[in-house]
Amino acid sequence: MINQKMKELIVMNREELIALRRKLHSEPELSFEEVNTTTFVCNYLDELGISYRKTKPTGVIAEIQGGRSGKTVALRGDMDALSVEQLNTHVPYASKVPGKMHACGHDAHTSMLLMAAKALSEIKEELPGNVRLLFQPAEEIAQGAKAMVEQGAMKGVDNVFGIHIWSQIPTNKVACSPGPSFAAADIFKVHFTGKGGHGAIPQDCIDAAVVASSFVMNVQSIVSRTIDPQNAAVLTIGKMDVGTRFNIIAENALIEGTVRTFNQETRDHIEKNITIYANNVASIYGATAKVEYIRGTQPVINDEESAQLVQQVATEAFGPNTVFDEKPTMGAEDFSFFLEKAPGSFALVGSGNPKKDTEWSHHHGNFDIDEDALVTGAELYAQYAWAYLNQ
């Protein structure tokens, strides 16, 4: 199942792989602004002689044509950075752009996929099928995968595979279990309207601050008292904007939050009940409520056969103790939009190493990766494609 030539090539090019990642890390670009990153990817693909086309406004879809006919497997690597100020500025590859940083590992994903492309292009005549390479923009705003799908990224694809560097598990461990991996992520906004007035004359007012506060305290019972405890769900209020001055009773209040779920029934139930709770709380105080519920990413559900293939590849490529049992996360991933078009799986490659200070959480200003994990990720990309096409 393992292609030894690709393994040796990736190991031999370890320093180049690290250099790719460090360049990308030092030059971060935000979602749908990855113009230079897109150009960098295209230039590297040109050197390899791999055909590609750009997507709008950023992103690249490339294709390695195998020497024999067969299926098409897609490999995805995202490219965008975050609006985060880098704190660990002592590293030689620190971000050169104030307020922007690769604080989630997408620089690693892009470089690993480029190295996998190099390895796969070396053995393309042996491939019984095609490998599509998806260099995706705008994962951090959950719009990039959808945009690529709309531009034909998944046309003719039989299976899709993605990787995320993961600081919460040890370096070089690989996690990919069948079933739920990442949650659906939705956004909701609730606007309460009361009646403003002087802070010393509350009897003539309807205090939107009190209405909103009551909603915040009560809405959690949707999860704690109306959802089966075995169906995981999170409802978080992240923002509350109410009032204009210390001695004025607020007429308006705006609450924003997120809902995370793994199945559609739970998702529908929470959406419906947020509106019910908002209207009922508002009614108690004589106020009104308006709810906006925005569905974001779908849950990432790993196909059983695909996830088992990842585990088999990881075991054969890196040893019997490589596979790690990581629980599903309530974090979100727009890789789910690719899975709507073809079966596949999404793996986590560990990069947490206390000796190298790489156990910081994703999206933190001190986030970094253990670069030893780059070789593991690049090979996992390449060997998965090889194994899938050779089934």
pLDDT, tens only, 38-83: 999 999 999 999 999 999 999 999 999 999 999 999 999 999 999 9
pLDDT, tens only, 180-233: 999 999 999 999 999 999 999 999 999 999 999 999 999 999 999 999 999 999
What is the Cα–Cα distance from 35 to 333, expressed in whole angstroms?
22
Assess whether 251 carries a catalytic annotation.
Answer: no
Question: What is the torsion angle, in degrees rounded to the nearest 10, for the CA atoms of residue 212, residue 217, residue 220 and residue 222?
Answer: -70
Confidence of residue 116 (pLDDT cuts 50, 70, 90): very high
pLDDT, tens only, 270-283: 999 999 999 999 99
Q: Residue 341: enclosing H or E segment and its boundaries?
A: none
> Contact 120/7 with Cβ under 8 angstroms?
no
Q: Which is the catalytic residue, given 27, 78, 80, 359?
A: 80
Look at residue 1 in the predicted model and tell me its pLDDT: 82
Which domains does the chain possess? 4-181+299-389 (3.40.630.10), 184-297 (3.30.70.360)
What is the Cα–Cα distance from 94 to 102, expressed in whole angstroms?
9
Whole-model pTM: value is 0.93
Q: Which is the catalytic residue, given 27, 139, 207, 326?
A: 139
Assess whether 370 carries a catalytic annotation.
Answer: no
Question: What mean pLDDT, rounded, does the chain reach?
Answer: 97
Beta strands, E only, the chain: 51-54, 60-65, 68-78, 128-136, 159-170, 174-175, 179-182, 184-193, 197-198, 233-242, 248-249, 252-261, 288-297, 300-302, 344-352
Q: What are phi and psi of 231, to 5 degrees?
A: -100, 105
pLDDT, tens only, 133-167: 999 999 999 999 999 999 999 999 999 999 999 99
Ramachandran assignment for 243, one of left (phi > 0), alpha (psi -120 to 50 degrees), beta (any other): left
Q: 312: which residues sit within 8 A by CB, 6+ positions away?
A: 1, 387
> Contact 63/149 with Cβ under 8 angstroms?
no
3-class DSSP assignment, residue 65: strand
Ramachandran assignment for 138, one of left (phi > 0), alpha (psi -120 to 50 degrees), beta (any other): left
